[in-house]
Amino acid sequence: MCGIVAYLGKKAAQPILIEGLKRLEYRGYDSAGVGLIQGGDIKIIKSSGRISVLEEMLDEPNSGDVLGIGHTRWATHGEPNTANAHPHLDYTGKIAVVHNGIIENYNTLKTWLISKDCKFKSDTDTEVIANLIGYLYSNTEGKDSPSDGQNRFEWAVQHALNELVGTYGLAVVCADFPDMLIGAKKGSPLILGLGDNEFVIASDASAIVEHTTQAIYLADNEMVTASSKGFHTKTIDNIEIHKELKQIEFSLDAIELNGFSHYMLKEICEQPKALKMCLGGRLDLRDGRIVLGGIGKYWREITRAKRVVINACGTAWHAGLIGEFLLEQLARINTETEYASEFRYRNPVIEDGTIVIAVSQSGETADTLAAIEQARERGATVLGIVNVVGSSIARSTDAGVYLRVGPEIGVASTKAFTAQVAVLAMLAIELGRRRHLSNESARFYIEELSKIPEKIEKVLAQSEDIKKIAEATCQRENWLFLGRGFNYPVALEGALKLKEISYIHAEGLPAAEMKHGPIALITDGMPAVFIATRCSQYEKIIGNIEEVRARGGKTIVVASEGDEDIKKYADHLITVPQVPEELQPMLTVIPLQILAYHAAVLRGHDVDKPRNLAKSVTVE
Ligand code: G6P
């Protein structure tokens, strides 16, 4: 949801900004821009469209331009045109800002600034930040003017931040200070990379790792000022703080395409390895236990809990729903899965003994973060299941379990989903073992879980066959995805994958619900994807398949390997190895990811950057 990058060092800033923006493009891609400090001026180049469009507008890099800021946008305030693209200059032309987040009181501030003769050129909330800093910078007289050692620029930024209501990750430069870069954060992520006499500020580590693996993760209401003399961090209340230096934990290799045509395909294919990393060291096959170090101290509380509430959005919500079924089935604990965006605005009942679990790939989703705050205020212990290390959700929960699947760049989430389910399965098995699941059953599930990565390989091997199914069906504009029990959330996820990258209308449903309305949609040749693996509801779902076939629907059936009986019900058949039904979602979702991928490619869409979407939704 907008990516920002800024550079101060000894090298030409422009190519570093462009490379960084390309790494962050998954966060938003409707317009982009860079601002460079050039001989006491700020040169802004920006455009609507992708970064490739911006790149064509740029001159050869100037080795003397060593300070700059860049932005790739996902529009919130104002349409994605050039005027609304970042960076935004203030009315004096001295201050430039790139911003990720939303300023909620921008209208009030704008009215006030207009009354002070500040001119606006865009419809964005960000321009208010630039103008406010610019106004304070040019009008310090009569105020508590900067104290010794604190220059006017930094003072103005700090005072402006105190007026903002909302969220921001931002980078600011001033034409009068060609050697100074300021970053600040509240509610949107911001990282400072520390290289050899150089600084890179960015929304995430992928834009930094090429230059350095040493970083500082700013917390909310903190700002950093960097110059050739070094850097310092403080709160926006002007209290100096010491920040711990952290090691960025992934390599450049993890964020390269490595020969794949798309990140989504790479990430689908990475799932066996990703799940091995996720499960690695956590499955104690000898003692039949699961070791989740991050929540070790909380087991007593979790074991005694009366209720679990899972909060998440999008694909993570689907994983959460599977988690609900797993926790109920294996740990016999009352569990509900909530859309974080709904939970946060209700008046949820959180009694003693409620554990809240936030599930999020990015760890930055604004609604999930707000739901956590709500739950904490009401006294719940909050656990996180998060991929991005050091992200806001990881930091704002009491304890948690990292997915450990490496960066996920494709906007459509794939490997994070299977890992979220794997972590929830581990949690359910271990909690079950500590409550009333027999040691024998726990050991059985742990062994089965350990075999999932190699079984995913067998599903991936069918990619070419699934492509043929996509070729035969991808022209159809309406699809149904149907599953029961543990595979009902998989049906929801399969439909979401198809919608988000192929722009095909798809509806995911519990198969038995079809007859209560959606069955009216079935017309001749309409694709209906059934997840009909061998499980407790197998016979029932066969009945649902027949209902669709009787009305002319074309069935694409995901079935268990070796199931000969099901062939007669399937116009197209995909098989997955047999596993206990509680663990099936980690296998049955794979063909649906592959199907959506091929359908999108065949329809000519940009799979990694689907229209209107962004990977990390840091606005409400
Ligand atoms: C966005 C992404 C989805 C993702 C959802 C939740 O909508 O496009 O792929 O599932 O946010 O993101 P999170 O990072 O919290 O898992």
- pLDDT tens figures, 20-50: 999 998 888 889 999 999 988 999 999 999 8
For 184, residues 6+ apart whose C-beta sits below 8 A from its C-beta are: 157, 161, 168, 169, 170, 172, 190, 218, 222, 223, 224, 236
Q: Is 459 helix (H, G, I), strand (E, B) or coil?
A: helix
Quick one: how many helices (H) and strands (E) in the chain? 19, 27
Catalytic residues: 2, 615
Do residues 479 and 426 both lie within one domain? no
Query: Is residue 597 included in any domain, yes or no?
Result: yes
CB of 473 closer than 8 Å to CB of 500 = no
Q: Which atom of ligand 1 is nearest to the CA of 420?
A: 16
Backbone CA torsion sign across 565, 570, 575, 576: negative
Distance CA 403, CA 48 (A): 35
Q: Which residue stretches of the chain have pLDDT < 50?
A: 148
CB of 62 closer than 8 Å to CB of 15 = no
Give the DSSP per-residue string, 95-116.
EEEEEES-BTTHHHHHHHHHHT
Per residue in 412-421, is it b (16+ CB within 10 Å) or e — as a string? bbbbbbbbbb
Select from 513, 520, 518, 544 the least CA-distant residue to 531: 544
pLDDT at 325: 98
pLDDT at 147: 58
Do residues 193 and 73 both lie within one domain? yes
Query: Is residue 620 included in any domain, yes or no?
Result: no
Choose one of 608, 616, 620 to mutate for the ligand 1 pocket test, by most ligand atoms within 8 angstroms of C-beta: 616
Distance CA 124, CA 83 (A): 9
CB of 323 closer than 8 Å to CB of 338 = no
Element (DSSP H or E) covering residue 289: strand 289-290
Q: Is 88 helix (H, G, I), strand (E, B) or coil?
A: strand
The token pair at 324 is 């609900």
613 Cβ below 6 A of ligand 1: yes
Question: Based on C-alpha coordinates, what's the Rg of the chain?
Answer: 26
Q: Which atom of ligand 1 is nearest to the CA of 362?
A: 14
Q: How far apart are the first and last CA of the chain?
A: 11
Give the DSSP per-residue string, 116-172.
TT----SS-SHHHHHHHHHHHHH--TTS----TT--HHHHHHHHHHTT--B-EEEEE
Determine how many CB atoms are found less than 10 A away from the CB of residue 143: 11
314 Cβ below 6 A of ligand 1: yes
Do residues 88 and 151 both lie within one domain? yes
339 Cβ below 6 A of ligand 1: no
pLDDT at 616: 74
Residue nearest (by alpha carbon) to ligand 1 atom 4: 314
The token pair at 348 is 């949820």
392 Cβ below 6 A of ligand 1: no
Which residue in the block uniquely carries the two structure tokens 């208010």?
128
615 Cβ below 6 A of ligand 1: yes
Select from 405, 402, 356 the least CA-distant residue to 379: 356
365 Cβ below 6 A of ligand 1: yes
Which residue in the block uniquely carries the two structure tokens 């106004």?
135
For 64, residues 6+ apart whose C-beta sits below 8 A from its C-beta are: 12, 38
Choose one of 25, 26, 188, 313 to mutate for the ligand 1 pocket test, by most ligand atoms within 8 angstroms of C-beta: 313
Query: Is residue 253 included in any domain, yes or no?
Result: no
Per residue in 65-94, is it b (16+ CB within 10 Å) or e — as a string? bbbbbbbbbbbbbbebbebbbbbbbbbbeb
CATH number of the domain encompassing residue 67: 3.60.20.10
315 Cβ below 6 A of ligand 1: yes
Do residues 22 and 58 both lie within one domain? yes
CA atoms within 13 A on the CB side of 87: 31
Do residues 285 and 394 both lie within one domain? yes
Query: Is residue 270 included in any domain, yes or no?
Result: yes
227-230 long-range CB contacts below 8 Å, 24 or more apart? 227/8, 227/177, 227/179, 227/180, 227/181, 228/8, 228/179, 228/197
Q: What tens digit of pLDDT does each residue of 269-301 get?
A: 999 999 999 999 999 999 999 999 999 999 999
CB of 215 closer than 8 Å to CB of 133 = no
555 Cβ below 6 A of ligand 1: no
Residue nearest (by alpha carbon) to ligand 1 atom 7: 314
pLDDT at 145: 64
The token pair at 451 is 């075999």
Residue nearest (by alpha carbon) to ligand 1 atom 15: 360
Do residues 124 and 102 both lie within one domain? yes
pLDDT at 268: 98
Ligand 1 centroid distance, CA of 475 (Å): 27
Select from 314, 30, 369, 342 the least CA-distant residue to 187: 369
CB of 120 closer than 8 Å to CB of 127 = yes
Do residues 407 and 359 both lie within one domain? yes
- With 0-12 / 13-18 / 19 or more C-beta atoms within 10 angstroms meaning exposed / middle / buried, residue 210 is middle
What are the phi and psi torsion angles at 377 (to 5°)? -60, -30
For 539, residues 6+ apart whose C-beta sits below 8 A from its C-beta are: none
pLDDT at 141: 59
> Among residues 182, 214, 248, which one ends one of the domains?
248
Query: Is residue 613 included in any domain, yes or no?
Result: no
Do residues 122 and 74 both lie within one domain? yes
Domain enclosing residue 318, as ranges: 258-450
Residue nearest (by alpha carbon) to ligand 1 atom 8: 615
3-state secondary structure 577-595: CCCCHHHCHHHHHHHHHHH
Query: Is residue 617 included in any domain, yes or no?
Result: no
Q: Can the peptide bond before residue 87 be classed as cis, meaning omega within 30 degrees of 0?
A: yes
Query: Is residue 302 included in any domain, yes or no?
Result: yes
What's the residue count for the chain? 620
397 Cβ below 6 A of ligand 1: no
Q: Which atom of ligand 1 is nearest to the CA of 388?
A: 14
CB of 515 closer than 8 Å to CB of 546 = no
- With 0-12 / 13-18 / 19 or more C-beta atoms within 10 angstroms meaning exposed / middle / buried, residue 239 is exposed
Ligand 1 centroid distance, CA of 86 (Å): 24
Q: How far is CA 619 from CA 135, 461, 512, in A?
A: 27, 39, 35
Ligand 1 centroid distance, CA of 614 (Å): 8
Q: How far is CA 188 from CA 206, 208, 485, in A?
A: 16, 17, 37
Do residues 188 and 72 both lie within one domain? yes
Q: Is 313 helix (H, G, I), strand (E, B) or coil?
A: coil
Q: How far is CA 478 from CA 488, 559, 570, in A?
A: 19, 22, 18
> Among residues 450, 475, 498, which one ends one of the domains?
450
- Look at the chain and report how many structural domains it folds into: 3
CB of 51 closer than 8 Å to CB of 18 = yes
Do residues 244 and 338 both lie within one domain? no
> Among residues 420, 450, 480, which one ends one of the domains?
450
360 Cβ below 6 A of ligand 1: yes
Q: Which atom of ligand 1 is nearest to the CA of 393?
A: 15
Do residues 16 and 118 both lie within one domain? yes
Q: Is 74 helix (H, G, I), strand (E, B) or coil?
A: coil
For 476, residues 6+ apart whose C-beta sits below 8 A from its C-beta are: 504, 525, 526, 527
Choose one of 413, 418, 593 to mutate for the ligand 1 pocket test, by most ligand atoms within 8 angstroms of C-beta: 413
Query: Is residue 618 included in any domain, yes or no?
Result: no
Ligand 1 centroid distance, CA of 114 (Å): 37
Which residue in the block uniquely carries the two structure tokens 């990282």?
191
Choose one of 617, 618, 619 to mutate for the ligand 1 pocket test, by most ligand atoms within 8 angstroms of C-beta: 617
pLDDT at 609: 86
124 Cβ below 6 A of ligand 1: no
Do residues 98 and 233 both lie within one domain? yes
Determine how many CB atoms are found less than 10 A away from the CB of residue 55: 17
CATH number of the domain encompassing residue 416: 3.40.50.10490
